[in-house]
Amino acid sequence: MRGGSDIALYSRNGRDLTQRFTSVLDAVRKLPCKSVALDCELVLMGPEGIDFYSLMKRTGENVALMAFDILELNGSDLRPLPLAARKIYLWKLLSRNKSSNLAVVPSFEDGEELMLAVMKHSLEGVVSKRRSAPYASGSRPEWVKVKSPTWRQANKDRWELMHG
């Protein structure tokens, strides 16, 4: 979240991560807006792609913010808009961004193409959202989490460390 020069990063559990990721804060500070609230994920770019495990262990320096959705922009609540409209706002805001620390997670129309991209980048899975749905916090019937068919097996040790 950014309001003027004040920027805060919070985990999904409400933990304040603001002081841990200054490179991301600097990139958000340079966005051409007065205020913004993003639904996003911090990721660590490792030698083999995105490395969530090292990020959890607070190691590595190549942290990037991957934005899925935009909830507020310049004082306007965008949550009632359909996802497709919010994505347009998100792309317009971040398309002028020159930092490698900020990126928009692309949308896919083709589920097979999406799953191939997920497996190529060794991602755990995706959350599918209905393009016509407004934003709402928490789990929703309009949101479906789809696990990669190969991720859990290929990352068995990491899975056990992350999920007990």
Phi, then psi, of 154 in degrees rounded to 5: -70, -25
Virtual CA dihedral for 152, 153, 158, 162, nearest 10 degrees? 30
Domains identified in the chain and CATH numbers = 2-163 (3.30.470.30)
**Which residue is associated with the tokens 């490395």?**
51
pTM over 0.85: no
Segment 10-50, tens digit of pLDDT: 877 888 877 777 778 888 888 899 999 999 888 776 666 66
DSSP 133: P
**What token pair was written down for 156?**
């068995």
> Residue 92: CB partners within 8 Å, gap ≥ 6?
none
- The alpha carbons of the chain give a radius of gyration, in whole angstroms, of 16
For residue 45, which of 29, 25, 65, 28 has the smallest C-alpha distance? 65
Q: What was the pLDDT predicted at 71? A: 95
Segment 48-66, tens digit of pLDDT: 666 655 666 654 467 888 8
**What burial letters (b/e) apply to 47-61, b meaning 16+ CB within 10 Å?**
eeebbbbbbeeeeee
Q: What is the average pLDDT across 124-146? A: 79
